[in-house]
Amino acid sequence: MTRQKIQIKKIDNTAARQVTFSKRRRGLFKKAYELSTLCDAEIALLVFSNTGKLFEYSSTSTRQVIERRNLQSERIDLLDPISTLELQLQSSTCAMLGTEIAEKTKELRQLRGEELQGLDLEELKHLEKLLEGGLNRVTQTKDELFFKEISILKRKEVELMEENQQLKEKMGNSPHMVQPTVAQQGLGQPSDCNGHAWRSYSSDISLRLGLPYPN
């Protein structure tokens, strides 16, 4: 069910008018408090009910704000018309910014799941789309960071493999590498490359012992 827009006109029913006055007055004071807090603004509000009762809100002091306003009016009277117009434009811009800040603050609270009372179905759907869009952006950013870290790790792996291969090549070409000798490869028997020394040594022993000469 969508909320019906209230027609802006005087409420004839006295009780309903009093209830609306109380609600709207509290909302107005709340907005003034938010504006003064968010923008560090000095605000004073004076409201008289139809019965003549005074309601007021001030971020500092109502009298102080009124005196400041009167002093500002005296200064404006001394300025040229162009400066007056600039001040009016600045005041209008400040008011617009204050309204925008209040709306954005309310929207931020709703994104956090606060102040959802009073929202109709279309407003809730719009809020849901905003949340889905934000979640998709968070997921996309997370995936990009994840793939970036994987790419860095792969590049480091390639660099380490290249360094390892270069180290192996340096060790293979080093002049300090000792080649195994003939004595280390065999049994350590005294012989030349053709085995003559061993045969001479064996024949000498055979003659001394009277053994047959080995072939």
Q: Which of 119-123, 136-140, 145-149, 204-208 has the lowest mean pLDDT?
A: 204-208
Query: Residue 47 belongs to what H/E stretch?
Result: strand 44-48
Q: Of 36, 103, 37, give the one whose Cα is nearest residue 45.
A: 36
Rounded (10°) angle between helices 81-111 and 121-172: 80
pLDDT of residue 80: 56
pLDDT of residue 34: 92
**What's the predicted TM-score (pTM) here?**
0.33
Topology of 11-71 in CATH?
A: SRF-like (3.40.1810)
Buried-exposed string 144-159: b where 16+ CB fall within 10 A, e elsewhere: eeeeeeeeeeeeeeee
Q: Has residue 12 got a pLDDT over 60?
A: yes
Domain ranges of the chain: 11-71, 80-117, 120-169
* Higher-scoring residue by pLDDT: 89, 187: 89
Q: Which two tokens stand for residue 22?
A: 């109380």
* Higher-scoring residue by pLDDT: 25, 93: 25
**How do residues 24-43 score in pLDDT, each as one tens digit?**
999 999 999 999 899 988 89
**How do residues 40-51 score in pLDDT, each as one tens digit?**
888 998 999 888
Mean pLDDT of 68-78: 71
